[in-house]
Amino acid sequence: MDLLYYLPHTSGGIFDYAIAQTHALAKVGVKVTVLVPETGDFPVISGVTCRSVLEDETRVIPRSSRLLRRIERSGSIIRNIRRLEKLIKTEKFRHVLFSTYTEYAAPLWAFRLRRFVRSGVRFSAILHDPVRNYVVGPKRWHTWSITEGYSFLRDIFVHEQIDPGEIGIPTGIEVSLIPHGPLAFPGGDDSGSVVRKRLDIPGDAKVLLSFGQIRDGKNLDLVIGALREIPDAWLLVAGKVAGGGNRPVTDYQNLAESSGIANRCRWVTDYIESKDVASYFAAADAILLTYSRAFRSASGVLNAAACFQKPCIASSGAGPLRTQVTKYGLGVWVEPDDQQALKAGIATWLGGIPEPRWEEYRRENSWSRNAEVIRDRLFVQP
């Protein structure tokens, strides 16, 4: 059971997910070769090996022009696909799993992989974001790109039951449901109390943590508006600014200032190293997952919250996040994109909520089950 795992990332939620998934696959008997960027540092265990030959597609490209950034990213993807081709040819891999489905510039590279399909190579992908509504370029190009991105795939793995036709998955692709397991992080160098002291947050403050990329779809403006009327709550934002057309963090900071809550907001606008993640979660009392209605995916931050057993205040469209929060009582669910609903949700949490069913959640959403489904789909079932 040899599997080539394609991972052109060195950080972020996809990278953390890939570590947990490949390690779980090795533990259920799959021999995994992970194809990663030269600049990455992927931890290996028995049954997992690395080939560091790719370019990092998540790196920030220092260009002033959006067009130039897109051209450079497209070039990076094509060069990586050529490296993937070479490894498939030289080492005769028959199973290739993409760490995430991507349609970016697919008309320029998908045909290269379709050649292998005709010779019996089986390509699969994890579909983290089923709704592909982020349009790059003309609409017709976007639609064509999605079609090309699926054109060489035999299997898709998702975290929520979906209607394949509704989101454009072609007939003939097998769609399998896998759980998104809890993400584990090493203990931080600082305890939560040390982080609070460093950021000048009172020890008895009720701290809401917004963790990860700072981007428009997380509704930080609504959070700030809601906190204006909830004097007992503090906001801690920890993560890197997404860029790519998203509002700059200064917009949110200015909004906090004009709303009169700047003294209760703290901003750590850098990439948070894995070794420091635990410290920020330890400093928080609850986690903000206040996505817009357009978000219909699983949330890696939720799984980090599960690791540290921190309740969440959450919103999104229909999808895995909503299902998991409501099914296991992992916090307070609020109507997305609604400031008043968010304010009421925060007030509900402050008033006391039932203990989340963390053990049940972890038992039913394990990495071992994730790996078993993939193994059986690729190597056992016809």
Common-topology check for domains 2-179+366-380 and 192-363: yes
Which one-letter DSSP state was computed for residue 313? Answer: E
Distance CA 39, CA 86 (A): 20
DSSP one-letter string for 37-69: ETT------TTEEEEEEE--TTS----S-HHHH
- Are 128 and 296 within 8 A, CB to CB? no
Task: Tell me the pTM.
Answer: 0.80
Tell me what the mean pLDDT of segment 78-98 comes to. 95
Report whether pLDDT(35) > 80. yes
Q: Looking at this protein, which amino acid is placed at residue 96?
A: V
- Find out if CATH 3.40.250.10 is the number for domain 192-363: no
pLDDT of residue 300: 78
- Quote the pLDDT of residue 306: 84
CA distance 218 to 222: 9
104, 136 Cβ separation under 8 angstroms: yes
pLDDT over 70 (residue 189):
no
Give the CB-side neighbour count of residue 133, counting CA atoms within 13 A.
10
DSSP 208-241: EEEES-B-GGG-HHHHHHHHTT-TTEEEEEES-B
Give yes or no for residue 136 having a pLDDT over 90.
no
* 250 CA to centre of own chain: 24
Domain residue spans in the chain?
2-179+366-380, 192-363
Q: How far is residue 263's CA from residue 200's CA, in Å, rounded to a whole number? A: 10
At residue 319 the predicted structure's pLDDT band, cuts being 50, 70 and 90, is: confident
- Predicted confidence at residue 289, as pLDDT, reads 95
Class of domain 2-179+366-380: alpha beta
137-185 pLDDT, tens digit each: 788 988 899 999 999 999 999 988 877 877 778 888 999 999 988 877 7
What mean pLDDT is reported for the chain?
89
Return the minimum-mean-pLDDT range out of 33-47, 156-170, 302-316.
156-170
Average confidence (pLDDT) over 332-354: 95
Q: Is 63's pLDDT higher than 60? A: no
* Residue 156: exposure state from Cβ atoms within 10 A (0-12, 13-18, ≥19): buried
pLDDT at 288 over 70: yes
Task: Work out the pLDDT band at 190, boundaries 50, 70, 90.
Answer: low
> What would the pLDDT profile of 267-285 be if each residue is shown by its tens digit?
999 888 878 888 999 999 9
Q: Which of residues 134 and 253 earns the better pLDDT score? A: 253
Please compute the mean of the pLDDT values over residues 98-120 and round it to a whole number: 94
**Would you state the structure tokens that stand for residue 249, as one six-digit string?**
């963090």
Residue with the larger pLDDT of the pair 164 and 331: 331
**Crossing angle of helices 110-117 and 66-91, rounded to 10°:** 20
Q: Which two tokens stand for residue 96?
A: 């290739």
pLDDT tens digits, 195-228: 999 999 999 999 999 998 888 889 999 999 999 9
DSSP letter for 202, please: -
Judged by DSSP in three states, 180 sits in: coil
Amino acid 296: pLDDT: 79
The pLDDT confidence band at residue 188, using thresholds 50, 70 and 90, is low
Distance separating alpha carbons of residues 358 and 298, to the nearest angstrom? 17
Q: What ranges in the chain are assigned the alpha helix state H? A: 12-27, 66-91, 110-117, 139-150, 192-198, 220-227, 249-258, 274-282, 300-308, 320-328, 339-351, 358-364, 367-375
- pLDDT at residue 237 is higher than 60: yes
Predicted pLDDT at 133:
66
Calculate what percentage of the chain has a pLDDT beyond 90.
60
* Joined tokens for residue 193: 């109390």
Torsion 24-10-208-295 (CA) sign: negative
Q: Above 80 in pLDDT, residue 360?
A: yes
Q: Which two tokens stand for residue 221?
A: 């403006």
